[in-house]
Amino acid sequence: MPCYIDPEGFYAFAVANNGPTVKTQSTSITQEVTSTYPAQEYPMPHIDVFAIANSSAVYTAPCSTPKPASTNALLPKTWFAGESYNITITGTGFTTPANATAACPVTPVVAKTSTGSVGLSGVTVVSPTQITATVMPDASDPTELAEITVGNSSNGGAFSVRTQILGNQIQCGPSLNCTPTVISTTDGSTPPAQTAVVGQQIVLNTTTPVTTAYDGPTLTPTWTVGGTNIGGWTPSNTSGPPPNPTTLNNTPNLTTYWIYPGNAIPVTYQYCVNIQGANPVLQCSLPANAAFNVTGPSVSSMSTPTGYVGIFAGPLLGYGPTGIQFNPTLSNTTGDSGQFDWVQLITNDTLTLTSTTGTIQTCINVTVPPTSSGTGLDTLYPYATGTSTHDNPSGQLNSTTYTREARSFSAQMYLLWDPLLPSSIPVPLGSVTWGWSGTAAYSSGSWSLISSSTTTPSWGTSSSYPTWSDLMPYSGQVLCQ
Amino acid sequence: MIKIAMLGLLFTSCAGAVVKGDLSLKLTVFDPTVKTGSKIGIRVTTTNESDHPITYHNTNLCNYSFKVFTSAGSPAPETELQKSLNCDFRGPMTGITGRNILVTLKPGESSSEDFRLLEFFDMSEPGEYSVQVDRTFPNIGRVSSNIVTITVTP
């Protein structure tokens, strides 16, 4: 059985448990021992090795072999990029400065990553069983596995412990066509501003793993999005719900839409992990910062020339002959791209009908779904497209049934712009409130206007979306009481 | 089907005699192949094929009559919205308008309107659908569009 004596400069001999045949050799550390002791005195064969200082004896012995502890050989094992951690390596066979020699130096420690880098400082071999150090993965490191190597494989041996670096990067979704894909910084420097337009679907991804390699799930992923933004808007003819808010919490990916232009609009992302051995246990990533320059059209003014309330050929009671026109003066348009959408909400449309028998009824137009509101989306979504539109609501006068017909009408016309990009949505630019009323009376075989009024059109710039829950199809059906 | 409830006698001023063939309807589909449940957008473009201006009014959803058939030739089921439009209704207030857009097309000019078919027809069953639209214009008559095919995939 060979035995090894370390360090050199010692005189060595060995005693076997069954009666030694001691051989000594000053130039070799290998001794052969023949067992002659009765087995019953030493049930387990063993060899006692003694070393006695002897200035004339020189042995070259291997360094001690570092070995990791069976559990928690490295704590913490999860590191956020850009953060520093005091780590502790636990095991056996570490060579301390006090025990180090020229041949067996202090146990070295090396940190390696596959793509990023890790700063390693303050390595201290506290004892043969403990090493401490400070690590700091580079702020730009992606999420990847890293490795701590303890010892020297060519001198005493080494072992490696795996660790995970958690990067924090915001990446563009495919529709944004960013180059490079990573658009964020975490070191406090100004991120490069990306370009976008209002209404464009902004999809941002991160490299956040659902679960870390060693410390359980990632927690509380949180986005902070500057500017006025929403999570989407899904109108139909019968429903114009309020826009969805952007989902900012508990999602590693972001889908949002900006509805106002702006420069250097900030987007920030951060997430956390409970890391064993860290202090405090709950550790969070550095914020990843991105920025967007968002462009889009705006309306500097709105011209709304109007006609008049009267009796027109048909005969019709209406706001004619061309009603009201909506002619915006646009600025910051994006060339020929995109589309302007008009959406009109009827806020009041009441008919007061006096029958030939003298009965007076108040009527509203039937809605879909049927409600008693008498308000809702005017006819269809969108009302019209293009850079201008108009309206001249009217109604057929029916002298067979009625001797007097009055109508009170008010509406709000919204102007929106849709960039017409994949999954884009229209964004509101503002709206015009307007209205009219008129009363027609039938006498001596003809209709005449006996009273009328108009509401001066009023334009307001606004990022408010039109909302409705009923469609007014104007199919001629009315609900009277 | 969406049908005409009222058409443009409203403030209509037509220059010159209009005859059938003066206007044409072209139907285009934004995406001829869509996954079931996805939006199906179509555009109806009206073009003045005559040598004189033509005026008409865009009012309600009954302006157009869409025909949607499955590959087996069956009409696609109508949605509740389509059924509730009740375009055949006639009453004393028939002809009342909210939206009333006067459209004047010079010779060769076009005007278009976009619709989302799924709001009017159930096209959730995968397969091929053929779509055509008709519209009756005052003093011109009924004009039919081309037929487009839309493939709905699972």
Instruction: Tell me how close the Cα of A163 comes to any Cα of chain B, in angstroms.
Output: 44
At residue B21, the pLDDT reads 82
Dist. CA A74–CA A97, nearest whole Å = 21
> How far from chain centre, in Å, is Cα B58?
10
Please list every residue in chain B whose beta carbon sits closer than 8 Å to the beta carbon of residue A238: 81, 119
Please list every residue in chain B whose beta carbon sits closer than 8 Å to the beta carbon of residue A406: none
Q: A142 CB contacts (<8 Å, ≥6 apart)? A: A81, A115, A116, A165, A167, A169, A207
Dihedral sign from CA coordinates of A303, A308, A312, A316:
positive
What SS3 string covers chain A?
CCCCCCCCCEEEEEEECCCCCCCCCCCCCCCCCCCCCCCCCCCCCCEEEEEEECCCCCCCCCCCCCEECCCCCEECCEEECCCCEEEEEEEECCCCCCCCCCCCCCCCEEEEECCCCEEEEEEEEEECCEEEEEEEECCCCCCEEEEEEEEECCCCEEEEEEEEEECCCEEECHHHCCCCCECCECCCCCCCEEEEECCCCEEEEECCCCECCCCCEEEEEEEEECCCEECECCCCCCCECCCECCCCECCCCEEEEECCCEEEEEEEEEEEEECCCCCCCEEECCCEEEEEEEECCEEEEEECCEEEEEEECCCEEEEEEEEEEEEEEEECCCCCCCEEEEEEEEEEEEEEEEECCCCEEEEEECCECCCCCCCEEECCCCCEECCCEEECCEEECCCCCEEEEEEEEEEEEEEEEECCCCCCCCEEEEEEEEEEEEEEEEECCEEEEEEEEEEEEEEEECCCCCCECCEECCCCCEEEC
At residue A174, the pLDDT reads 85
At residue A21, the pLDDT reads 41
At residue A22, the pLDDT reads 43
Q: Is the peptide bond before A428 cis (omega within 30 degrees of 0)?
A: no
- The bridge status of strand A193-197 relative to strand A157-166 is unpaired
At residue A35, the pLDDT reads 42
At residue A151, the pLDDT reads 95
Q: How far, in Å, are A210, A222, A276, B128 from residue A284 at the CA level?
A: 15, 11, 13, 52
Tokens of A132: 């401490």
At residue B20, the pLDDT reads 62
The residues of B whose Cβ lies within 8 A of any Cβ of A are: 5-6, 9-11, 58-62, 81, 84-87, 89-102, 113-116, 119
pTM of the predicted structure, to 2 decimals: 0.82
Instruction: Determine contact, residues A218/A273, Cβ cutoff 8 Å.
Output: yes
State which residue of chain A sits closest to B120, comparing Cα positions. A237
pLDDT digits (tens, 9 = 90+) for B72-104: 999 999 999 999 888 888 888 888 999 999 999
Closest CB to B98 among A368, A400, A472: A472
At residue A17, the pLDDT reads 42
Inter-chain CB proximity A476 and B102 less than 8 Å = no
Range 409-438 of A in CB contact (< 8 A) with B: 409, 411
Dist. CA A379–CA B80, nearest whole Å = 16
At residue A55, the pLDDT reads 46
Dist. CA A358–CA A86, nearest whole Å = 93
Dist. CA B45–CA A382, nearest whole Å = 16
- Counted residue by residue, chain A has a size of 481
Dist. CA A324–CA B126, nearest whole Å = 44
Which of A352, A392, A421, A474 should we substitute to test contact with B (largest number of B Cβ atoms within 10 Å)?
A: A474
> How far from chain centre, in Å, is Cα A258?
14
Tokens of A88: 């502790």
> Which secondary structure element, helix H or strand E, spans residue B116, and what is its range?
strand B110-116
Range 335-354 of A in CB contact (< 8 A) with B: 344, 346, 349, 351
Look at phi and psi of residue A401 and say left if phi exceeds 0, alpha if psi is from -120 to 50, else beta. alpha
Judged by DSSP in three states, B84 sits in: helix
State which residue of chain B sits closest to A413, comparing Cα positions. B99
Please list every residue in chain B whose beta carbon sits closer than 8 Å to the beta carbon of residue A401: 92
Instruction: Determine contact, residues A101/A7, Cβ cutoff 8 Å.
Output: yes
Q: A268 CB contacts (<8 Å, ≥6 apart)? A: A223, A224, A287, A288, A289, A290
Please list every residue in chain B whose beta carbon sits closer than 8 Å to the beta carbon of residue A351: 93, 96
Chain A to chain B Cβ contacts (< 8 Å): 134
pLDDT digits (tens, 9 = 90+) for B60-70: 999 999 999 99
DSSP B92: T
Instruction: Determine contact, residues B103/B48, Cβ cutoff 8 Å.
Output: no
Closest CB to A314 among B9, B116, B119: B9
pLDDT in tens, chain A (481 residues): 334 444 443 444 444 444 444 444 444 444 444 444 444 444 444 444 444 444 445 555 678 999 999 999 999 999 999 999 999 999 999 999 999 998 899 999 999 998 888 999 999 999 999 999 999 999 989 999 999 999 998 888 999 999 999 999 999 988 888 889 999 999 889 999 999 999 999 999 998 999 999 999 999 999 999 999 999 999 999 999 999 999 999 999 999 999 999 999 999 999 999 999 999 999 999 999 999 999 999 999 999 999 999 999 989 999 989 899 999 999 877 666 899 999 999 999 999 999 999 999 999 999 999 888 889 999 999 999 999 999 999 999 999 999 999 999 999 999 999 999 999 999 999 999 999 999 999 999 999 999 999 999 999 999 899 999 999 999 888 999 8
At residue A362, the pLDDT reads 95
